[in-house]
Amino acid sequence: MELDIVDLSRLQFAITALYHFLFVPLTLGLSVLLAIMETVYVMTGRDIWRQMTKFWGVLFGINFVMGVATGIVMEFQFGMNWSYYSHYVGDIFGAPLAIEGLMAFFLEATFVGLFFFGWDKLSRLGHLAATWAVAIGSNFSALWILIANGWMQNPVGAAFNPQTMRMEVNDFAAVLFNPVAQAKFVHTVSAGYVTASIFVLGVSAWYLLKGRHLELAKRSLTVAASFGLASALSVVVLGDESGYLSTEHQKMKLAAIEAMWKTEPAPAAFTAIGFPDQEARKTHYAVHIPWVMGLIGTRSLTTEIPGIEELVQHAETRIRSGMVAYAALQEIRAAGSDAAIPEAARTAFEENGMDLGYALLLKPYLDDPAQASDEQIAKAAWDTVPNVPTLFWTFRIMVGLGFFFIALTAVFFYLSARHQLDRYPWLLRVAVFAIPLPWIAAECGWIVAEFGRQPWIIEGVLPTAAAVSNLGAATVLATIVGFSLIYSVLFVVEMVLMLAAIRKGPEADHAPRTRLAPPSLAPAE
Amino acid sequence: MVLHELLDYQTLRVIWWLLLGVLLIGFAVMDGFDLGTGMLLPFVGRNDVERRVVINTVGPVWEGNQVWLILGGGAIFAAWPPLYAVSFSGFYLAMFAILFALILRPVGFKYRSKRESAAWRNGWDWALFVGGLVPALVMGVAVGNVLQGVPFRFGTDLRIFYDGTTLFELLNPFGLLCGLLSVAMLVMHGASWLVLKTEGAVAERARRYGAAAAIATIVLFALGGIWLWLGIDGYRITSAVVTDGPSNPLAKTVERASGVWFENYGNHPWMMIAPVLAFAGALANLALQKAGREIVPVLASGLSILGIISTVGLSMFPMILPSSLDPKSSLTVWDASSSHLTLFIMLVVTAIFIPLIVAYTSWVYHVLWGKVDEKAIRDGSGHAY
């Protein structure tokens, strides 16, 4: 298959976004864990907690710079590869990104320097404040990014302006308090907390198995297990909140996750396992659990959840309405001045304007969507179905892992409460091997969220295919190769340094000496 | 919601044009000295300890400084979406080169001293050099191309089309001159920073490179001005100027003519302050370095950078991104902004947070005040890189 510019641009975004998110969750969670550990240090004055903060801080630092390095790519890429998207929704989408910089990332990045360099330059409380600033900054950063992403899933508070040919904000509070964004924020940061907890849990378990750094490992395990348990419960419960919201806003995504081809009588059954077949439009060897789907999706026993085929019918209606809007828009644009717009076109656009994006789904088939044939409309309507098997499986992997994390952290929480952390070596081994799992769950989560939104880049507003820059395929291919090369090399380097730092363990740390003068004023030798 | 109409659309656009300048200058001044330090690293540090001294002068602050760039990108996206869309995709490969270099930088700072191997450390030193040089050079080249006009046009649905803006076509003589100017001014600034933060041989070498860079800045800025005067056409709006209309770049007509980039200075002589500051700052930097001063040269090079960037912005006003392919597609202050409401909201947010950022950044610099010496590196105190 020959890759066109849309596929290549999507591939590049997928590679760089999934790669970026290898580092983000650990930053989110570990920053909070560091702040907690240092708070204990400041409150109790016991040096072991200071040593823990420093040790996990080293690992945090190795990970943090990778997040910074790959984050810039994310921000620039919208303009580089998705220029029509940037023009079309920049009025809304740009604001949270800019506010993220102003409110969150500046705080995080400015104080992270003091976290590493400020141990001898700041008072205990001063340094603790810097650590909390890093934690708060990184978490606020996630909030603004997810407000931006939430808007792509549920574009509220904006309307299309024919004069500027773009979406413009009309209710900023709606963008801010978008329920999808709020649910995603809590779900994502909790996932970050789980990732960091499992990481700390696994590394500490390895130390216990090796009989090294026992004081540090046991305390770290206790913190990670309790924080991890609370977070893992929150991820699953709030993931359920996301599921509930997607039935309101993204019915197609939910139907695809469940491989629910036809609308079923309420309460719908949950397909625990099966083999969805996109071509045949059915799921082979499906194992159903009665009622569960209806309960998760609607929190009632009587509300129906529409299946894929019914949703395609809805899409077809909206495409036809969008065609009317598209034709009216051409007349409005051609009129030149506001007064010259024919009344019929104005009315037609007012009535059908919200479906304009659906007309753009026809663009791959013909240049002027208003002229589409019934066959083309039917094809475009079926294009609104995302890749069902991918969503079906990634969702199940994510949820399965979520329950596993609850079990794992609960077990260690129990053992920690009974002071028996090292009683079952096999459990410690499980914890070590569990280290990569949160990353798999998080990446699956993003695939469900973003792949499940296809063919839309902005749900119901702008199709992905219409959003790309008019670049040459060879150009984008070249940058994909470039990013892949540097990312692969850096991944190896990062892993080597991370493993070396873990193997080396905490450095011997002396309590800060009392200083009479700052080092800069100390007499030269 | 009518609160945003307290400020009219035209005023908001001018404010956001100013803020665009503030952010770019903030980036060039704040991140500029650590880009410059990166470029100087292999030359002013002759052995491992000296290089670690150099890296540790920016070690605790480069992360915060780089946010000026990230904020700049975000603010252009939010306040000037067509500018963000056209420039980032039009300069695609140039942007990729910048990103590639900026990926190396954070990693280089952090990972370099984590292993003892000389080859490993030397490799990262050159990565940090590239990480400083490439963004400085390419951003300068990009500005040089903006002054000449960029080959893009809008389709009827405001989709953007380009005509051959490959990386190599950007590297035309005037573009390269601007690129070199950008490198020279950031090396001047970085060298001044190193003089402030180091002592002994490193500071002495930095002083010498800084003097050369200050002279190069003055010469290249003068040459650029003469070239612009003699050989480069500017762009001006020829239709009636509507300052508060919808952001539709196709609603105007534009012509390309010689001397346009100097018209503003004739009409508003106060604008001459920008080029004067550019020269005066660099000259003062040179003189104060010679006099052995340490703090004020950094301020002088910062003012020179402010003058140089302001000169470009003021010369082009109200143009932001002229199109050589289809002049009427050019982006101006009056037709490339976000909506009235978005500009207002972003202004409120900016007015709240920029003072906070300046306050805590100042506090961090205050805490970190003082020279980085070789003893601190050998002790490993303060978690040196």
Subunit contact A120:B86, Cβ cutoff 8 A:
no
Residue A417 is assigned to a structural domain of this protein: no
Half-sphere exposure of A309 (CA within 13 A, CB side): 8
Q: For A203-215, give the secondary structure using H, E and C.
A: HHHHHHHHCCCHH
Asked whether the beta carbons of A238 and A246 are under 8 A apart, the reply is no
Domain containing A46: what range? 1-177+471-499
- Which ranges of A383-453 would DSSP assign to H, the alpha helix? 388-417, 425-433, 437-446
Segment (H or E) for B89: helix B81-90
Distance of CA B24 to the CA centre of its chain: 5
| pLDDT (0 to 100) of residue A513 | 44
Asked whether the beta carbons of B258 and B228 are under 8 A apart, the reply is no
pLDDT greater than 70 at residue A525: no
Asked whether the beta carbons of B365 and B191 are under 8 A apart, the reply is no
Tell me the average pLDDT across A57-71. 93
| pLDDT (0 to 100) of residue B167 | 63
Distance of CA A160 to the CA centre of its chain: 27
Q: Which of A113, A161, A520 sits opposite B63 (nearest CB)?
A: A113
pLDDT greater than 70 at residue A246: no
A160: helix, coil or strand? strand
Q: Domain residues of chain B, as ranges? A: 28-379
Q: Which of A76, A165, A501 sits opposite B99 (nearest CB)?
A: A76
Residue A457 is assigned to a structural domain of this protein: no
Number of domains in chain A: 1
Distance of CA A362 to the CA centre of its chain: 29
Asked whether the beta carbons of A273 and A292 are under 8 A apart, the reply is no
Distance of CA A384 to the CA centre of its chain: 22
pLDDT greater than 70 at residue A406: yes
- The residue with greater pLDDT, B363 or A286, is B363
Residues of chain A with Cβ-Cβ distance to B338 below 8 Å are: 90-91, 94, 168
C-alpha span between B178 and B29 (Å, rounded): 17
With CA atoms as reference, report the closest residue to A162 among A18, A345, A20.
A345
User: What does R_g of chain A's alpha carbons equal in angstroms?
Assistant: 26
C-alpha span between A57 and A507 (Å, rounded): 12
Q: Rounded to the nearest 5°, which phi and psi values hold at A356?
A: -50, -45
Asked whether the beta carbons of B192 and B297 are under 8 A apart, the reply is yes
Residue A235 is assigned to a structural domain of this protein: no
What residues have CB less than 8 Å from A80, skipping those under 6 apart?
A469, B88, B89, B92, B95, B96
In this structure, of A79-93, A222-236, B185-199, B363-377, the range with the lowest mean pLDDT score is B363-377
| Share of chain A residues as helix, strand and coil, in percent rounded to the nearest 5 | 70, 5, 20
User: Tokens 């002495």 label which residue?
Assistant: B204
pLDDT greater than 70 at residue A360: yes
- The residue with greater pLDDT, A3 or A54, is A54
Burial B180-216 (b: 16+ CB within 10 A, else e): bbbbbbbbbbbbbbbbbbbeeebbebbbebbbebbeb
| pLDDT (0 to 100) of residue B164 | 65
C-alpha span between A132 and A299 (Å, rounded): 38
Distance of CA B28 to the CA centre of its chain: 4
| B348 touches A at CB < 8 Å | no
Q: Which of A107, A169, A486 sits opposite B103 (nearest CB)?
A: A486
Asked whether the beta carbons of A365 and A372 are under 8 A apart, the reply is yes
| B371 touches A at CB < 8 Å | yes
Q: Which of B59, B85, B93 sits opposite A87 (nearest CB)?
A: B85
Residue A74 CB coordination number (10 Å): 18
| pLDDT (0 to 100) of residue A244 | 64
The residue count of chain B comes to 385
Residues of chain A with Cβ-Cβ distance to B161 below 8 Å are: 470
Residue A147 is assigned to a structural domain of this protein: yes
Asked whether the beta carbons of B73 and B66 are under 8 A apart, the reply is no
Residue A127 is assigned to a structural domain of this protein: yes
Interface of B with A in 328-347 (CB under 8 A): 338-339, 341-342, 345-346
| pLDDT (0 to 100) of residue B370 | 86
Output the CA–CA distances (angstroms, integers) from residue A8 to A20, A389, A477, in the order listed. Answer: 18, 22, 7
B267: helix, coil or strand? helix
pLDDT greater than 50 at residue A524: no
| pLDDT (0 to 100) of residue A428 | 94
Q: What is the pTM of this model?
A: 0.92
C-alpha span between B11 and B17 (Å, rounded): 10
Amino acid at B359: A
| pLDDT (0 to 100) of residue A427 | 93
| Ramachandran bin of B253, using left for φ above 0, alpha for ψ from -120 to 50, beta for the remaining angles | beta
Asked whether the beta carbons of A159 and A170 are under 8 A apart, the reply is yes
| pLDDT (0 to 100) of residue A514 | 41
DSSP for residue A338: G
Q: What is the pLDDT of residues A163-172, one digit of tens each?
A: 899 999 999 9
pLDDT greater than 80 at residue A248: no
- Shortest distance between the Cα of B279 and any Cα of chain A, in A, equals 32
Subunit contact B103:A65, Cβ cutoff 8 A:
no
With CA atoms as reference, report the closest residue to B147 among B278, B281, B311.
B311
Interface of B with A in 167-206 (CB under 8 A): none
pLDDT greater than 50 at residue A443: yes
Q: End-to-end distance of chain A based on CA atoms, in angstroms? A: 70
- The residue with greater pLDDT, A283 or B180, is B180
Q: Rounded to the nearest 5°, which phi and psi values hold at A261?
A: -70, -40
Reading the block at residue B284, the tokens are 């003062």
| pLDDT (0 to 100) of residue B252 | 92
Output the CA–CA distances (angstroms, integers) from residue B107 to A505, B38, B128, B208, in the order listed. Answer: 21, 13, 9, 29
C-alpha span between A407 and A236 (Å, rounded): 12
Segment (H or E) for A13: helix A5-20
C-alpha span between B192 and B195 (Å, rounded): 5
Distance of CA A203 to the CA centre of its chain: 25
| pLDDT (0 to 100) of residue A251 | 86
Segment (H or E) for A275: strand A270-277
In this structure, of A64-73, A281-290, A317-326, A402-411, the range with the lowest mean pLDDT score is A281-290
Output the CA–CA distances (angstroms, integers) from residue B81 to A70, A437, A516, in the order listed. Answer: 22, 39, 54
C-alpha span between A218 and A227 (Å, rounded): 14
B128: helix, coil or strand? helix
Output the CA–CA distances (angstroms, integers) from residue B196 to A255, B71, B190, in the order listed. Answer: 63, 27, 10
| pLDDT (0 to 100) of residue A195 | 97
Optimal mutation site among B9, B89, B239, interface A, most CBs of chain A within 10 A = B89
User: Tokens 């920016």 label which residue?
Assistant: B58
Interface of B with A in 51-110 (CB under 8 A): 59-64, 66-67, 69-71, 73-79, 81-82, 84-89, 92-93, 95-96, 99-100, 102-107, 109-110
C-alpha span between B128 and B102 (Å, rounded): 9
With CA atoms as reference, report the closest residue to B28 among B278, B264, B227.
B278
What residues have CB less than 8 Å from A34, skipping those under 6 apart?
A53, A56, A57, A60, A115, A131, A134, A135
Q: What is the pLDDT of residues A474-498, one digit of tens each?
A: 899 999 999 999 999 999 999 999 9
**pLDDT range class, residue A519, cuts 50, 70, 90:** very low
Q: Rounded to the nearest 5°, which phi and psi values hold at A169?
A: -75, 140
Q: Which residues of chain B, if any, have pLDDT below 50?
A: none
C-alpha span between B354 and A343 (Å, rounded): 47
- Shortest distance between the Cα of A443 and any Cα of chain B, in A, equals 22
Output the CA–CA distances (angstroms, integers) from residue B296 to A64, B219, B286, B287, B299, in the order listed. Answer: 34, 22, 11, 11, 5
pLDDT greater than 80 at residue A117: yes
Asked whether the beta carbons of A416 and A373 are under 8 A apart, the reply is no
Amino acid at B70: I
Residue A120 is assigned to a structural domain of this protein: yes
Residue A319 is assigned to a structural domain of this protein: no
| B155 touches A at CB < 8 Å | no
Residue A231 is assigned to a structural domain of this protein: no
pLDDT greater than 70 at residue A523: no
Subunit contact A113:B77, Cβ cutoff 8 A:
no
User: Tokens 């509300």 label which residue?
Assistant: A303
Handedness of CA B366, B370, B371, B372 (dihedral sign): negative
DSSP for residue B4: G
Residue A42 burial by Cβ neighbours in a 10 Å radius (0-12, 13-18, 19+): middle
What residues have CB less than 8 Å from A73, skipping those under 6 apart?
A16, A20, A483, B99, B103
C-alpha span between A439 and A194 (Å, rounded): 10
pLDDT greater than 50 at residue A520: no
